[in-house]
C-alpha cells in the first residue's frame, strides 16, 4: 500500500468510525428532550422513563464519540502536517468554537444525567435543550471546516503562502451553510430511523407496549421531518456544488461530455476509459434543471478538465446514487408514517410496518457514510480545492502502514465490541425493566 493511500485510508477509517458516534451525539439529545417535554406536558411516566433511558444511551455512545474525536483532531496533524501548517490559522476559528460547543454539550449532558430530582424540572428540561443545541452547534462548526476545504475563502494566496487571513470570512465560506444543514439533517435522519428500528424490533419481540410505541413515535417523527427537509437541503447543496465544484458535480452524476440540457442519471456505471456512463436511467434535462434550475443550462463534463484533476469517478458516482436512493426510500417511509399519524393509527397494530422499520434501521447511517464518501472522495485529488493537492499535504513520516494497521485494528475491535454489546443488551434480551414498569 502506498504512503499516500495509507494516510488516506487511516483518515477515512477514523472519520467513518467517529461520524457514527458524532451523529448520535448530535441527535439523541433532541429526542430525549422531546421525550422529557412530553412528560412535563402529559405527566405520563412512560415519557420520563424513555427520556432517562435515551439519555443513558446517549452518554455511553457520546464517550466513544469524544475519544474518537480526540484522535481525529490529532490525526489531522499526524497525517497532514503540511495542510495544517498552511491552513491551521485559517480554519482555527471554527475548530476552537467547536471545542467550546462540544464542551458545553458535555457539561450539560452531565447536568442532565445527574440532575434528575436535583435541579428544578424546568431547568432540567433547559439543560436538555442546551445539550441538543450545543451538539448541533458543534456539528455545524466542524462541518464549516470541511466546507472550507471544498470552497476555500478568507485568505490571499501569495507565492503559495496564505496571507491577509480573515478567519470569519473563511468560516462562512460558500459551502458552509448548505453543508452544515445537510450534515445536521443527515444525523437526525440516521439516528431517528435507527432508533425507530431498534424499538420496532423490541416491540416485535416483546409484544405491543406503550414504551416502544411512544419511542417509535418520537424517533420516527424526528427522522421523517429530517429526511423530508433533506430534499430541500440536497437541492441547495447540489446548486452550490454545481457553482463552485464543477468537477465534483460531473463525477457524482457520471457526466463526461459537456452538455446543454444534461440528463439526470439514475444508477449506471461510469467507465472512465470509454468516458461514458452506461446502464443508467436518464431523465432528459433533469440534471440541468436540478443543478441550475434551468432545463437548458450547460453542465460541464469531466472531459473539459484534465484527468489529473478527476476524483475516483466510479466510487463517487456509486456512493452518490446510494445516498440519494436510500434518502428517497426513507422519504417514502416518512410519508407513510405521516399518513399513519394523520389517521391516528397505532403502529403496534401493524407488524408489517414494524418489520419495514427494522429493515430501515441501518439505512440512514449507510446514506450518511455514503454522503461523506461523496464529499471527501469527490474533493480529491485536492485537500484544499484548487490550492493544495492531497499528495503534497501528506506527512513525511516513513512508515505510515504501521499506524494505519494499528488504527484499523483498534477501530475494528471497538466496532465489534459496540455491536456485540448492543446485540447482547438491546436485541437478545428484550425483557426490560423500563418497559415492564410502564
Partner 1 sequence: MNIASVLACIMAAALLLYVLLAGADYGAGFWDLLSSGPSKDAQKELIANAIQPIWEANHVWLILILVLLFAGFPPAFGAVMIALHVPILLMLVGIVLRGSSFVFRAYSTIDSEMRKACAYVFSISSSFTPFFMGILIGSLSDNRVLVSEDVSINGYLFNWLNPFSVSMGLLTVALFAFLAASYLTAEAATDELRRTFRNRTVGAGVAGIVLTVITFALSAEYATGLREGFTRNSVAICFAIIAWLAIAVSFVALYKGCFQLSRIMAAVHAGSIVVVWAVAQYPYIARPQRTIFNSMLSATVVHDIVLACVAGAIVLFPSLGILLYVFKDQRRNKAAASSSKVQP
Bridge-based pairing of strands 156-158 and 276-278 is unpaired
Question: Residue from 81, 325, 338, 362 that binds partner 1 (CB under 8 A)?
Answer: 81
- Is 372:15 a contact under the CB 8 Å cutoff? yes
- Minimum distance of partner 1 from residue 325's CB (angstroms): 33
Measured from the CB atom, the residue of 62 and 320 that comes closer to partner 1 is 62
| Binding flags for partner 1, 88-127, as an x/- string (CB under 8 A) | xxxxxx-xxx-xx-xxx-xxxxxx-xxxxxxx--------
As a whole number of angstroms, the distance between CA 288 and CA 267 comes to: 17
- Minimum distance of partner 1 from residue 60's CB (angstroms): 5
As a whole number of angstroms, the distance between CA 294 and CA 410 comes to: 49
- Minimum distance of partner 1 from residue 42's CB (angstroms): 23
Measured from the CB atom, the residue of 260 and 419 that comes closer to partner 1 is 419
Phi (first) and psi of residue 207, to 5 degrees: 85, 170
- Minimum distance of partner 1 from residue 246's CB (angstroms): 31
Quick one: which segment of 36-44, 58-66, 282-290, 324-332 binds partner 1 (CB under 8 A)?
Answer: 58-66
407: which 3 cell numbers?
488504527
Distances (CA, A) of 103 to 98, 110, 113: 8, 11, 15
Closest CA to 382 of 83, 64, 131, 124: 83
Quick one: which segment of 34-42, 64-72, 179-187, 354-362 binds partner 1 (CB under 8 A)?
Answer: 64-72
Question: Residue from 2, 70, 303, 346 that binds partner 1 (CB under 8 A)?
Answer: 70
21: which 3 cell numbers?
458516534
Quick one: which segment of 69-77, 200-208, 300-308, 328-336 binds partner 1 (CB under 8 A)?
Answer: 69-77
Closest CA to 32 of 115, 112, 117: 112
Q: Which residues of 191-202 are buried (b: 16+ CB within 10 A; e: fewer)?
A: bbbbbbbbbbbb
Question: Residue from 258, 395, 401, 408 that binds partner 1 (CB under 8 A)?
Answer: 395
Map residue 384 onto helix, strand or coil. strand
Which residues contact partner 1 (rule: CB under 8 A)?
A: 56, 59-60, 62-64, 66-71, 73-78, 81-82, 84-86, 88-93, 95-97, 99-100, 102-104, 106-111, 113-119, 130, 162-163, 165, 167-168, 395-398, 403, 406, 410, 414, 417, 421, 424-425, 429
Amino acid at each position: 500500500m502506498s504512503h499516500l493511500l495509507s494516510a488516506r485510508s487511516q483518515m477515512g477509517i477514523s472519520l467513518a468510525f467517529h461520524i457514527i458516534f458524532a451523529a448520535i451525539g448530535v441527535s439523541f439529545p433532541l429526542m430525549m428532550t422531546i421525550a422529557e417535554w412530553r412528560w412535563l406536558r402529559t405527566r405520563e411516566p412512560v415519557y420520563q422513563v424513555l427520556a432517562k433511558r435515551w439519555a443513558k444511551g446517549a452518554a455511553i455512545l457520546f464517550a466513544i464519540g469524544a475519544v474518537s474525536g480526540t484522535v481525529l483532531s490529532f490525526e489531522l496533524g499526524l497525517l497532514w502536517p503540511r495542510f495544517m501548517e498552511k491552513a491551521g490559522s485559517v480554519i482555527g476559528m471554527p475548530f476552537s468554537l467547536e471545542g467550546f460547543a462540544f464542551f458545553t454539550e458535555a457539561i450539560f449532558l452531565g447536568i442532565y444525567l445527574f440532575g434528575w430530582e436535583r435541579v428544578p424540572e424546568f431547568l432540567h428540561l433547559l439543560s436538555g435543550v442546551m445539550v441538543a443545541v450545543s451538539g448541533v452547534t458543534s456539528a455545524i462548526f466542524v462541518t464549516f471546516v470541511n466546507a472550507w476545504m471544498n470552497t476555500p475563502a478568507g485568505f490571499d494566496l501569495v507565492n503559495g503562502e496564505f496571507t491577509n487571513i480573515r478567519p470569519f470570512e473563511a468560516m462562512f465560506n460558500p459551502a458552509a451553510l448548505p453543508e452544515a444543514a445537510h450534515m445536521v439533517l443527515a444525523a437526525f435522519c440516521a439516528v431517528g430511523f435507527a432508533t425507530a428500528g431498534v424499538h420496532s424490533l423490541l416491540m416485535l419481540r416483546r409484544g405491543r407496549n406503550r414504551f416502544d410505541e411512544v419511542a417509535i413515535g418520537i424517533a420516527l417523527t424526528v427522522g421523517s421531518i429530517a429526511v423530508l427537509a433533506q430534499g430541500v437541503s440536497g437541492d441547495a447543496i447540489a446548486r452550490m456544488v454545481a457553482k463552485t465544484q464543477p468537477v465534483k458535480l460531473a463525477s457524482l452524476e457520471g457526466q463526461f461530455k459537456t452538455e446543454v440540457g444534461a440528463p439526470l442519471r439514475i444508477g449506471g456505471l461510469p467507465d472512465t476509459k470509454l468516458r461514458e456512463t452506461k446502464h443508467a436511467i436518464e431523465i432528459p434535462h433533469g440534471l440541468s434543471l436540478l443543478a441550475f434550475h434551468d432545463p437548458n443550462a450547460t453542465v460541464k463534463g469531466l472531459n473539459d478538465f484534465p484527468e489529473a484533476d478527476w476524483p475516483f469517478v466510479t466510487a463517487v458516482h456509486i456512493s452518490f446514487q446510494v445516498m440519494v436512493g436510500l434518502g428517497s426510500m426513507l422519504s417514502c417511509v416518512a410519508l407513510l408514517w405521516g399518513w399513519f399519524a394523520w389517521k391516528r393509527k397505532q403502529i403496534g397494530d401493524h407488524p408489517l410496518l414494524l418489520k419495514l422499520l427494522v429493515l430501515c434501521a441501518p439505512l440512514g447511517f449507510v446514506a450518511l457514510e455514503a454522503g461523506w464518501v461523496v464529499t471527501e472522495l469527490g474533493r480529491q485529488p485536492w485537500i484544499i480545492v484548487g490550492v493544495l493537492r492531497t499528495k503534497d499535504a501528506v506527512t513525511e513520516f516513513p512508515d505510515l502502514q504501521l499506524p494505519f494497521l494499528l488504527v484499523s485494528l483498534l477501530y475494528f475491535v471497538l466496532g465489534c465490541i459496540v455491536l456485540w454489546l448492543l446485540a447482547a443488551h438491546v436485541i437478545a434480551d428484550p425483557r426490560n425493566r423500563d418497559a415492564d414498569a410502564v
